[in-house]
Structure 1
């Protein structure tokens, strides 16, 4: 009598992966349409957490796989190369996965938070890097305190604020004067590295457009981004009448990257070339060559000193910005609006609000100061409010309409003087969490 062999059960982790695959097999991607919006939002948030939890498991299995030496044994140059060859083909992403899995090995609490779905992969990378960068003499309990602090901060802060907080995380270990010095030294070293890594490239596509890319220090990038966002902000659409292709600015459904691209092009149009450094006393001026007919009648193309051919309209536009054509060709002027009291906040007041608020103050909004409007939070100007600095908050146009249409209440926090919001019918005050040292 023969005895049937006992089937071996799969390892619990292998069985769990099979269950995940079975669950996904039962989720047709076409089935989401028709569900209630609130339910869709809830499922989207849950799936984001599921994705983070799966990524934590993927990092763990990758870390374990890398220690086996299977990649070299199978002829692959690295574990990342082996994984990329197995699925996806993205060698860079696979190498990044291996490296991040190693970083998390030194920050176990962060890995556990990712596995629970408490934080995302980008947040985990910031925290792990901060823990790895702590001084060598940091005690284990101090290192744990820093890691736990950042994990808790991740729930409130944007990635940029979390990164800034991580830079100053040694304030858990040192007194204030010393941590200021440590942070300053860290930032100085990072800025020097950023300048050494700066690069720029640009190439013509041959169809009237150019593509490019760059890597520049963060402070200079913020200057560039601020200028582009100020130019391309939707609330300034009425100022673009003299911009080539200005009709596109008025398309409210314009893709964000397209709008920023147009703003970048307009910024290039307004560069103060006479203020840029030059060689041998020559300023960095791009010369436009055109004849009288082009200037007066706009019937002939023109040529830049680089050899690029441009239309007559573009030549006249560039000449106008260079001061060759009187300003009569500029768009309509923007009148100032005054009433019984000055209604509009001044430039200096808006700068002060930007320094205090850092952008839109509505809870959870990430709009920068350049996209925001100054709002009279205490009393509406129409009801007699004065345009005083203490009465202003920065709000993006969307949330400005939201608080007016839905009667939100605003107050200044009695603790630190920052704006707090309360929705109608609620007793709970909410605020925007932007990290500050």
Structure 2
């Protein structure tokens, strides 16, 4: 079906969801009168219309930007209409934010990249061949209606441009690897929020480009700062620009203090349960608790015991690195590798991993081809601390579609129930779920199954749809399902 015909079909079906055609000011009342399934269908159809219109706008923005380049000066389309940039022109047309207009221009320009202009019948000039850009898979997916402009922009910006390590691979090989990464991200996109998709794309980029990851880390480290000032009302204020490792430590400290309020694991000892109950009853806001915590840390410094400040759970930061991916050292003696924080998966460069190995050591986990390590059988019901680390490495966080809860907030779910199915406490039969989705499974008729080492399958309650294959959120999943190595693609 042609694009406009399909879009018209969506528009026509909107009235069917509420029973008739309508004026916009009638819609709130009409929609409140239908059942929840009809309201969901209405919103899904409206989203399809919105995404289709965004595609149209992106292509139009790209063409206008192409006709408003700096070398065209005041004869460019934007300048002719009184705007200094194509982004300003698009914003004046849409009435949206500058960020939305800039995204429309970026995506539109990417769609035109590698697309030859349409020649008129009178033009007899032979068209020159146009190189296929590395982001062609994104272009095809968006123009095919499989992804939105926001998803296209997240992957394109997150991956950045292909980088070539000196003397290792050719430009063509690097572009091929980046195209492969784009296809991999397209396969993971279902149910993933755009913010998480952008983060995931950055993680993939850092895994492909460990030298660049070191440079990006160093820029953020050089930009670290702590500023204090007094505002006009006499309130003392502060602003912190974190480096990556420092931010991870602060996150770990605050998460340790607030985890019971944010849906942390329920399976804790009696002392921890009592402390969690007291925290839930604490009249302070989360921001006030975080403030008091940081002041306690600054006051106590290295003299306080962890339990005095944080309660039952001591904060910590785990760095995960694939042992076989560690390469040679650079000219400064730094390890050429990229690791990832256990929670969130953000990249850390080899120099930080090297220092951490020197001061703290490491715990090695050996996995099979599906990422599964330790087994405990039926002698132990709860997953061990080391198994939970292994689950965090393999799953990357809550595995429920669209959920971004990090691994340290998750609980280990037995796919085979301990009593009903005589389930085993083995990693290949366990999966990480946040507290909400774990309770959803046990209370609302959802199930997760797995055939041998195949994908984990999520089964909705009867009548709610077909089973869905769950996808890992781990930033290092490529380690057990790897793409061809960069060196072999030249």
Q: TM-score range by the shorter chain?
A: 0.5 to 0.7
Which residue of structure 1 aligns with residue 459 of structure 2?
Answer: 422
Aligned positions of 1:165-204 closer than 5 A: 166=201, 182-198=208-224
Q: Secondary structure at the match of 1:49?
A: helix
Which residue of structure 2 aligns with residue 151 of structure 1?
Answer: 186
| 1:102 aligned onto 2:109 | yes
Residues 73/50 of structure 1: CA separation in 2 closer, same or farther (3 Å cut) = same
Deviation at 1:372, TM superposition (A): 1.9
Deviation at 1:225, TM superposition (A): 3.6
TM-score calculated relative to the size of structure 1: 0.60
Q: Secondary structure at the match of 1:359?
A: coil
Deviation at 1:133, TM superposition (A): 0.9
Deviation at 1:58, TM superposition (A): 1.7
Which residue of structure 2 aligns with residue 232 of structure 1?
Answer: 258
Deviations 1:264-299 (A, max 9, x none): 3354244265547xxxxxx9xxxxxxxxxxxxxxxx
Which residue of structure 2 aligns with residue 358 of structure 1?
Answer: 396
Deviation at 1:245, TM superposition (A): 7.9
Residues 242/420 of structure 1: CA separation in 2 closer, same or farther (3 Å cut) = same
Which residue of structure 1 aligns with residue 416 of structure 2?
Answer: 378
Deviation at 1:124, TM superposition (A): 0.5
CA contact (8 A) 2:227 2:238 kept: yes
> Superposition RMSD on alpha carbons, in Å?
5.0
CA contact (8 A) 1:201 1:213 kept: yes
Unaligned runs of 5+ in 1: 1-11, 171-178, 249-257, 277-282, 284-320, 335-340
Which of 162, 171, 174 is the aligned partner of 1:137? 171
Which residue of structure 1 aligns with residue 60 of structure 2?
Answer: 61
TM-score calculated relative to the size of structure 2: 0.55
Which residue of structure 2 aligns with residue 268 of structure 1?
Answer: 294
Residues 202/391 of structure 1: CA separation in 2 closer, same or farther (3 Å cut) = farther
Which residue of structure 2 aligns with residue 405 of structure 1?
Answer: 443
Deviation at 1:361, TM superposition (A): 2.9
Deviations 1:313-370 (A, max 9, x none): xxxxxxxx899xx97xx99989xxxxxx876555444333323332223344322223
Find the aligned partners of 2:108 and 2:435 in 1 and give their Cα distance: 42
Deviation at 1:405, TM superposition (A): 2.0
Q: Secondary structure at the match of 1:113?
A: helix
| 1:216 aligned onto 2:251 | no
Q: Over alpha carbons, which structure has the higher Rg?
A: 1
CA contact (8 A) 1:364 1:432 kept: no
| 1:39 aligned onto 2:31 | no
Query: How many residues end up aligned between the 2 structures?
Result: 350
Deviations 1:24-75 (A, max 9, x none): 9844441322222222223323333332322222222222223141332344
Find the aligned partners of 2:83 and 2:194 in 1 and give their Cα distance: 35
Deviation at 1:415, TM superposition (A): 2.6
Unaligned runs of 5+ in 2: 16-20, 69-75, 114-134, 164-169, 265-272, 314-378, 479-490
Find the aligned partners of 2:276 and 2:232 in 1 and give their Cα distance: 27
Find the aligned partners of 2:381 and 2:215 in 1 and give their Cα distance: 45
Find the aligned partners of 2:280 and 2:296 in 1 and give their Cα distance: 13
Q: Secondary structure at the match of 1:123?
A: helix
Q: Secondary structure at the match of 1:138?
A: helix
Deviation at 1:192, TM superposition (A): 2.4
Find the aligned partners of 2:311 and 2:419 in 1 and give their Cα distance: 27
- Larger RCO (CA under 8 A, 6+ residues apart): 2
Find the aligned partners of 1:272 and 1:342 in 2 and give their Cα distance: 41
